Structures are given as structure tokens and as C-alpha cells.
Structure 1
């Protein structure tokens, strides 16, 4: 049996700061190349069996499992692992649950991939619920930069889409609209539907979706009316859409509140029940750099 898992990606710029000066973009290629060479030397010559960089985040062990470079694109591929000591159960649909058995020094590893573009200084980070997030990855890179004496300070800034509102209102077809409102705006939505708002109501979430066929879409005029009504309201805490710019473009996600650049991809999970990091990176390269709808071009245009 195979299932499809939807995976999201966010984009960041790496910065360092010297005391008394404004933050500046830092090129991480020197660091990644040094770490890559050390990992490669340790694996091929067997000089050090404990060569992987291990650190702790939220009192759990984590590590930079691998660093490689795609020579065609010159993008770096980093694989981070969260090492989970809490064991999951295994079972059948109607069977008894049993804990997975591991040795005392073994862990359950949760992979996450990172693409780094050294020319434009952009990090593309895979988002998994059970894996390391951007804050943990930022902490790892900070310790490495200090260890290799490249920089003392380091932070990753989320790349935001200042054109989100304009682009959202100029889409040709809308596939999904997700809305989250609070306060009097939430009361107003419920009053429209039921004539009155119940006491104790704080948040209302609405999700509108088209059919699954490529030609399916939510009415264009209706979609734009929703966006125009809610996009500038302080009581709207989340407003996201999935839409197409034109008939030939792919469906993309646009966040009208946080304005963060993001994209998504579906991965089939087959017999091994894992998403191969190489497959993830290959898809990341395409999503990031394809000439028609690649995220690189969208980010650089802002």
C-alpha cells in the first residue's frame, strides 16, 4: 500500500552581525564545503567513526547527518536528523500494540532536508511535523560557524513575499481558501449563518476547497470578494490560498497574512515507508530553480 504525504518548504536568508553594525548576509558555502570534505574524508578513509556533528536542541540529541553538493546546480544538500529516544508502537489495524525494540544507544531518526543556494544566499528548508524546524537548524549552523571560526553570530530570516496581496488578487483560478478570524469578525461570520453568535466564541476557521480535478476551481469573483473583505482586517489571523496565476502555471500557495514564501510537494510513501532524502532534494531543486514557476525567480523578483 502506498500513500502520498504532502510536504511544505519555507525560505530563509542567512545573516551575521558585528557589534555596532547592521546585519549582513553571510555566504555559508565556505562552511558547508569544509564540513562536506571532512565528512567525505571520514567516510572514505575511516579515520573517525564519530565524525557527524551532534548537538542538543530542547534537551534532545540532533545531528547534521550529511552534506553533499549537486555539481550541476552547485546547490548544497544538508540532511539534519532529530534523534528521538521515545519509541513508537507497531501494530496492525486490529492487533495489539508493541513498542519498537532498540538498543540503549539507538534512536528513531527523523530526517529533514535543506537546500542552500550559494549564489543567492537562500536556504530552502523542508518542514516536517516530527523533524527539526528552522530554529533547531539555525542553532546547529550557529555552533558550526563558531566552531570553524567563520562567524560568532548567526540568524536565519524568513523570506517574505511583499507582493502577496497583489499576486493573490491577480490569480486566474482559486483552488483553496483558508481563513481564520477572531473577535467581532468571528461573531459576524456566525451571525450571517445562524442569525446570532453564541457566547464564548473566540475563533472561527473556514476552509473552502474546489474539486480534485485540474479544471476544478472556486468561483473567481466570489474568491476575490473574500480576499478583499478579509485581507486588511486586524481580526484576521490567517488567510491562505492555493491558486494558479494562469492556465499553464502550477498551483501555488500564497500567505496573505504572514507573507512567507512557501511551496508544497506530494511524495509517495511505498514499501519502505520513508521519504528518501535524495528524492526530496531532487524535488526541491525543481521547485526552486525551474525556469517557468521556480521559487528562486519569484523570490528574486520581490
Structure 2
């Protein structure tokens, strides 16, 4: 059975403040190398499995695995949100039954991270069931504090300062999503239905058909972007589009300008993605044709 899933990624820089209170990049290599050595020591000495654990929003999380990819020299980290809530298991027509776990066992939800130590860039997988970038940033900050590596640190989202220019120069638009608030939202509804319902916001999504060559009308899409792009009552405006005929479909955020990447995968008979396969997708996107997202980020510096 085939099941298509789209994986999303965001990009961050590890930062700290120096003695002059200037923001500088923070190299995490020494911290990560130390943790790799700790994990290896536990395995070599046949002791109980050792993991770094962090509590976020009253739920435990852990750094389940960390290593260096031999070919790229990028760090591969897998974070897990450990969920107390137990799902049911069943068949299509059978009775539901709660999974039976011990009191110290959890359901783990993974999120994969690629770290480029040369450029201090973190590429973080978005997984709504696992830790989000904010939680992963807090976890990494706790590792920095434990190591005494910096008096303060964080991960800063990398923004796409080419977003608006690129949005108007796409060859095919596949999706436009917008969230509109205030008077503009009510005005649009009033024009459609003849009355003002006094709503707080509306969300609209325009989608092409789900075949490769399908696209939304170019003039229609550009007209929407021109109307919405600098409107203060437009809170969200995102597109999925293709820059050239043979380019992959990519997301562009025109409000927050978050630099985003995505990969569509066919899971076939797999129930979930393996972290190692996710990391392979990340490397392909990050290194990519013409330097991939790595070079795109470096050109924006």
C-alpha cells in the first residue's frame, strides 16, 4: 500500500553573546563530541543504556542517538518526545485495545537534526508528534549549560531574505495559503455572503490538482500575492511552487520569511520514517544541486 508523506524542515544557527555582548556563532562540536564519547563509553562497558534527558512542558524528552556521518562530517542527532499517553491498537473491524507498557516505558516520537559544524547551521525536521524546533532549541541550550560552554545561547531561525523576490519569479504555483484577520477578513465574507459575521480571521487555501504538471493560473496567483504580500491584516501567506520546469516543488513563506525545505516520500509498506532515512533526505536537500540549501544560506550571510 502506498502512502505519500511530506516532511518539512527549518534552518537555524547556534548563537551566543561574546564579552562585548555581540551575537556570534556558537560551535557545538565539542559538546556533541563529548556526548558521543559518553554514549560510546556506556556501550563499550556494557552498562545500562545512557541517554541525555530533558523535561519540556512537563514531558520527558531524550537525545536518543548522536553520531557523525562519515561521508559529510555532519552530526546526526535524533531527539525523542516520550509520550505518556498510550494509543490503542486494533484491526479494521476488530475491538480496540490499549497498548500494554510498563510504568517506566513510553511511546517515542522522533525528530531528526542535521548539524553542520563548519557553518554552525542546524537543519531540524518538523514533526507535529515530536519535539518542535523551540523544544529542541531548549534541549540544546541545556546541553550547552551542562558543558559550561557559554553563559547564554540559543538557536536563531534563519530567514529567507529572497522570499518576496523569488515568489514572483516561479514557473508554476501549486498551492497558496493565507490567513486574513480584522476588517479585511470580514469584508471578504461580506462580499461573498452579503453580511458581516464579525469573525476574527479566515484561512483560505488554493490547491492545484495532485498531478505533476498541474498548476494554479499564473496571473491569478501573482494578483493574489500583489494584493496580500504587504497587507498588515494578512497574518500568513505561504506558497508551494516550482522555480523552473524541472525544479522540485518548494515552500516559500512570505510573512515570517522562514527558510523552509520539504521532501515528499512514498512510505509504501512502512509505518513510519526511519531517522537514518530522514537524515539522508536532509543531506540531499542541504548539499543538493548547486550547493543546495547550504549555499543558499551562505549567500544570504
Q: TM-score range by the shorter chain?
A: over 0.9
Counterpart Cα distance in 2 of 1:183 and 1:56: 38
Higher deviation after alignment, 33-42 or 225-234: 33-42
Counterpart Cα distance in 2 of 1:200 and 1:144: 48
- The one-character-per-residue Cα deviations of 1:7-27 (angstroms, maximum 9, x if unpaired) are 211110111124651221101
Checking the alignment, whether the CA contact within 8 Å between 2:62 and 2:81 is kept in structure 1 is yes
Residue in 2 that maps onto 1:197: 195
Checking the alignment, whether the CA contact within 8 Å between 2:43 and 2:49 is kept in structure 1 is no
Residue in 1 that maps onto 2:38: 38
- The one-character-per-residue Cα deviations of 1:128-156 (angstroms, maximum 9, x if unpaired) are 11101112212221221122222231111
Map 1:45-194; keep pairs closer than 5 Å.
45-46=45-46, 48-194=47-193
Counterpart Cα distance in 1 of 2:234 and 2:267: 36
**CA 1:291–1:165 in 2, change beyond 3 Å: closer, same or farther?**
same
1:202 positional shift: 2.0
Residue in 1 that maps onto 2:207: 209
**CA 1:14–1:165 in 2, change beyond 3 Å: closer, same or farther?**
same
Checking the alignment, whether the CA contact within 8 Å between 1:250 and 1:293 is kept in structure 2 is no
Checking the alignment, whether the CA contact within 8 Å between 1:268 and 1:275 is kept in structure 2 is no
Unaligned runs of 5+ residues in structure 2 are: none
- The one-character-per-residue Cα deviations of 1:32-80 (angstroms, maximum 9, x if unpaired) are 122112212322332x424211121111111111111112111110001
Q: 1:230 aligns with which of 209, 228, 234?
A: 228
Checking the alignment, whether the CA contact within 8 Å between 1:291 and 1:297 is kept in structure 2 is no
Residue in 1 that maps onto 2:254: 256
Checking the alignment, whether the CA contact within 8 Å between 1:8 and 1:126 is kept in structure 2 is yes
RMSD: 1.7
Counterpart Cα distance in 1 of 2:234 and 2:244: 27
Counterpart Cα distance in 2 of 1:109 and 1:224: 43
Helix, strand or coil at the partner of 2:239: strand
Counterpart Cα distance in 2 of 1:4 and 1:40: 36
Counterpart Cα distance in 2 of 1:203 and 1:63: 37
Helix, strand or coil at the partner of 2:151: coil
Helix, strand or coil at the partner of 1:56: strand
Counterpart Cα distance in 1 of 2:94 and 2:8: 33
Helix, strand or coil at the partner of 2:43: helix
Checking the alignment, whether the CA contact within 8 Å between 1:16 and 1:155 is kept in structure 2 is yes
Checking the alignment, whether the CA contact within 8 Å between 2:7 and 2:125 is kept in structure 1 is yes
> With structure 1 as the length reference, what TM-score do the two structures score?
0.94
Counterpart Cα distance in 1 of 2:171 and 2:299: 20
1:2 positional shift: 4.0
Aligned residue pairs: how many?
A: 300
Residue in 1 that maps onto 2:237: 239
